[in-house]
Amino acid sequence: MPGVAIAVERPSKTANVAAAEELLVWAARTYAPRVLFTTAFGAAGCALVALIADLRLPIDIATLDTGLLFPETYALWRRLEARYGVTIRSITPEESVTEQAATHGPRLWERAPDLCCELRKVRPLAKELARFDAWITSIRGDETRDRGAAAPVEKDARFGVVKINPLLTWTAEDVWRYVREHGVPTSPLHARGFPSIGCVPCTTPVAQGEDPRAGRWRGVAKTECGLHRRPALAATNA
Ligand code: SF4
C-alpha cells in the first residue's frame, strides 16, 4: 500500500552474540590500545576476528606462529586479513624449528611436548603480553576442564594481564551457527575431521563420537598447550 510503512521483522540477535559484542566493546573502551586478541584460527577464533572487525574495534590481533602450522592455517590467516581488512600479526618463538632442533634435539614435540609448547607458544606469548594490559581469547567453557573453570573476565596471574573470554558460554553449535550465518571463513580442515587444529605434528583427525580435542597430542596425557592452564588444575592436567 503506497504511503504505508511496513515493518519487516528481522531475526533478533541471539543473546550470546550480543553478550560477546558487549564484552568486546567494553574491552576496547577500557584497555585500547593495550588489548590483544590472539587466535589459532579455530572456528571460534575466526568468529571473533569477524566480530572485532565488524565492530571496528581498536583491538590488536595476533597469532602464535610456531613455524609448524598447517598450510591451510597459513592460507586462512591471509584470507581473514583480506576479507576483514585487518592485520593479524605474527608472534614467533626465539628459535626457528631448525634452531630448536640444534639446541634440544630433533622433534622435541615427540619427547617433551610440554617443553616444546613452552618454547614455541607460552614464552613468546608471555613476552608479547608484557606490552599489554588485557588479553582476549576465544576459549569456550565446554572444551576442557581448565577452560570450564574460567570466568568471562579474570586476572591471569601468570601473564599479568586481565584475560577476557567473550565466547566462554558459547557451544560449538553456537560458533558454527555464527560462522554459517555471517559467512566467516574457516579452515577446510574441519570438514576433514579436524575439529581442533594446532601444530601439524600434534594434531590428528578425530573419529565420529570422539572428544573434539582428542586429536590434539594424541596418546599423550596433555590437553592444553599451556596458554590456558590454570595453576590449581595444572598438576592433573600437565
Ligand atoms: S603443539 Fe606440538 S609442535 Fe606445537 S608447540 Fe606444542 S608440542 Fe610443539
C-alpha 106 – ligand 1 centre gap (Å): 13
Per-residue pLDDT of the chain (238 residues; tens, 9 = 90+): 444 444 444 445 799 999 999 999 999 999 999 999 999 999 999 999 999 999 999 999 999 999 999 999 999 999 999 999 999 999 999 999 999 999 999 999 999 999 999 999 999 999 999 999 999 999 999 988 888 889 999 999 999 999 999 999 999 999 999 999 999 999 999 999 988 899 999 998 888 888 877 778 777 777 777 788 776 544 333 2
pLDDT confidence of residue 237: 34
Which of 46, 117, 202, 225 is flagged as catalytic? 225
Assess whether 46 carries a catalytic annotation. no
Residues within a 6 A CB radius of ligand 1: 66, 68, 109, 113, 116-117, 120-121, 198-199, 201-202, 225
pLDDT tens digits along 141-193: 998 888 888 999 999 999 999 999 999 999 999 999 999 999 999 999 999 99
Give strand pairing partners of 222: none
